[in-house]
Amino acid sequence: MDLSPTDLDSVVVLTPRVFGDNRGSFFESYNAATLAALGIDTRFVQDNQSHSAEAGTVRGLHFQSPPHAQAKLVRVLAGEIFDVAVDIRRGSPTYGQWTGATLSAENRAQLLVPAGFLHGFVTRVPDCVVAYKCSDVYAPDCEGAVRFDDSDLGIDWGIAARDAVLSDKDAKAPSFADLDTPFTYEARP
């Protein structure tokens, strides 16, 4: 597994080594020992999967607050997405900044989004299937969201906001300015 840092502390792109032959290919999508050797010791307890029928579907920006804050390890089983993480750790030198990565079934890349970050993605093609591991269980009373097209964040989703396919909940998400983040930045030694 290869690890590539992003512009945000702790958000990394993981790319597995793929082994191919005349039958096709094989790769490990997750191995706790391999990740631990890379300095990632997140314990995942739940796997989620979504299917988005239309290109331009936006899911996010979401987070779960403590005591059920979630780190996520996101990958694409079919199609292609642009996956985004936004730092919402109060006191962080990158608070309010975002990073994004193209994840696809073809490139097999994964994005690790730690707790303390908003997460969302936009589908680039129809019929995208996205799978992600979570470090805590879904807890509706702990969920939060920020509007995906908030001008304070300035995320370049690659689509016009008017063309985004959104859930009712995401369409009504509050602004970034209204976020009372439950996360605090802790510098690593």
Q: What is the DSSP letter of 22?
A: T
Q: 132 an active-site residue?
A: yes
* Candidates 30, 51, 62, 119; catalytic one: 62
Is 171 strand, coil or helix?
A: helix
Is the four-CA dihedral 102, 105, 107, 110 of positive or negative sign? positive
- d(CA 139, CA 13) in angstroms, rounded, equals 26
Q: 68 an active-site residue?
A: no
Is 17 strand, coil or helix?
A: coil
Q: Measure the N-to-C terminal CA separation of the chain; round to a whole number of Å.
A: 25
Which residues, listed in sequence order, are joined to residue 131 by a DSSP beta bridge?
49, 75
* Candidates 51, 95, 119, 132; catalytic one: 132
Q: Which residues are catalytic?
A: 62, 132
